[in-house]
Amino acid sequence: MKNIPVVMIIFGGSGDLAHRKLYPALFNLYEQGLIHDNFAVIGTARRPWSHEYLREQVSDAIHETHDQVDENDVKRFASHFYYQSHDVTNVEHYETLKKLAQELDDRYSAQGNRLFYMAMAPRFFGTIATHINDQSLTGSGFNRIVVEKPFGHDLASAEELNKEITASFNEDDIFRIDHYLGKEMIQNIMPMRFTNPLIKNIWTSENVKNIQVTLAERLGVEARGGYYDTSGALRDMVQNHIFQIITLLAMPEPKDLSSSSIHKAKQDLLESMIIPTPEEVEKDFVRGQYLGRDNTFAYKKEPNVDPESTTETFVAGKVKFKKGPVADVPIYFRTGKEFKEKKNRIDIVLKHMNNPYGQAHSNNITIEIDPVSKIYITINGKKIDTSGIRRENLTYEFSKEEMAKVPDGYERLLHDVFVDDSTNFTHWSELKRYWEFIDTVEDAWQKENEKGNPKISQYLPYRMGPKEASDIFESPTEHWIYE
């Protein structure tokens, strides 16, 4: 693998994301030789850490995520890390950071390449981007920036943030990260759709009855109540992960596999996305909050959550497109906290076909993303002892050995940033359309809240979410396949 020279600056270097995801992923890329002798990482955050302390943290992070490591490698890798205590609003701190980056660039021959990573609370993204520009932190080589979600709180704030970032970076150098795009089964959607005549030929409005995307979580909001209560399931999961999945499911075949062709195919689809009217929001969307097992409020009692909160921990809804292979096919989605189990899955429900046996089932294609990865197609055949019809699954499954080889999403995506491949990142034009949709739903809900009697279904924990989510289907013959 190519050895990429770079000085990487992580804003949020003492945080949870850096510790759990970025440091282990960087170590794996180091072991593969993608970054090796010519790189340095500056971790910044408010805490007064030393270089040495950061290196210990990096080393701990690697030991926590790897069973076996070469201790000399860990030491050598950690020696490339530097800590800079940093207040994001303090101009002088950016000057110091700039100097340190230049010194490290000289020491490691990083060729003026800079990679900035926004891994701290999103409210600081804009301030940091502005200072990167004002204090000219960019280098003389490549300059790339990775931005964590959420990218804005609505379209207006996303546009503002984008303006602040594009003051220093070109669109091609902005990597808006969505960790779902690094998942094995999400990366499998395009090859599955476009290499199998069996699947590609039925992926049409004539054959597909509906598509269902479920991202279910067993956990509640845990320690993130403060953030979550200002966000909700729609912004936290639909605006990014669910919309990216739906885009991959509904987009036309790209001309080729280049990042620009794939983003173009996505954009062609998204231009035809139907934005719901307030009446449609009322009819086609359900929001909910989890209760405790004893049927009393539970979300509203979480730490840092407003006891009168109208924030949803569950949402179900519908999207349709005017163009693309599944134009006009309803795409239903739902996501929620405190479901019966962790399960991320997609069901492609095919239309029923009249046949002489009468009782045959429709074929469905299911893609399970997490916690297991598999694809299966339901298929009809003859029962052995009667002329009746039985239903079986044709399954494409990963073995344990194969699963063990699947890199973590962050490792994949960081790799892509280093090699400048933005295929699996969110383009501004996509994000904009997603926010337009989300804003419409949020506005409709806001109006309902203001009228004083918002429809928020309270649901029991560790089941399948509110029963009202079954009322959004267009026809009585439709239902959630995963129940």
Q: Which residues are catalytic?
A: 241
Are 461 and 291 in contact, with CB atoms under 8 Å apart? yes
Angle at 189 between CA 183 and CA 191, to 5 degrees: 115
325 or 465: CB nearest ligand BG6: 465
Q: How far is the CB of 426 from ligand BG6 (least distance, A)?
A: 13
Minimum CB distance to ligand BG6, residue 172 (Å) = 24
**Least Å from the CB of residue 215 to ligand BG6:** 6
> Measured from the CB of residue 119, what is the shortest distance to ligand BG6 in angstroms?
13
Q: Smallest distance, Å, CB 214 to ligand BG6? A: 11
Relative to beta strand 343-350, strand 208-216 is antiparallel
Are residues 38 and 6 in contact, defined by beta-carbon separation less than 8 angstroms? yes
Q: Where are the beta strands (DSSP E) in 57-195?
A: 81-85, 114-118, 143-147, 174-176
Is residue 433 within 8 A of residue 262, CB to CB? The reply is no
3-class DSSP assignment, residue 180: helix
Nearest to 26 by CA among 13, 37, 35: 35
Reported as type and span, the H/E element at residue 164 is helix 155-166
- CB neighbourhood size of 242 (10 A): 25
> Which own/partner pairs from 367-372 qualify as long-range (CB within 8 Å, at least 24 positions apart)?
367/185, 367/188, 367/189, 367/192, 368/185, 368/343, 368/344, 369/183, 369/185, 369/186, 369/344, 369/345, 370/183, 370/185, 370/342, 370/343, 370/344, 371/342, 371/343, 372/397, 372/398
Binding site for ligand BG6 (CB under 6 A): 217, 236, 344, 370
- Beta carbon of residue 200, minimum distance to ligand BG6 (angstroms, whole number): 28
Residues in the chain: 483
Using CA atoms, how far residue 1 sits from 145, 182, 377, 416, 472, in Å, is 22, 20, 38, 13, 50
The least CB distance from residue 233 to ligand BG6, in Å, is 8
Sheet holding 114-118, edge to edge: 81-85, 39-45, 6-11, 114-118, 143-147, 174-176
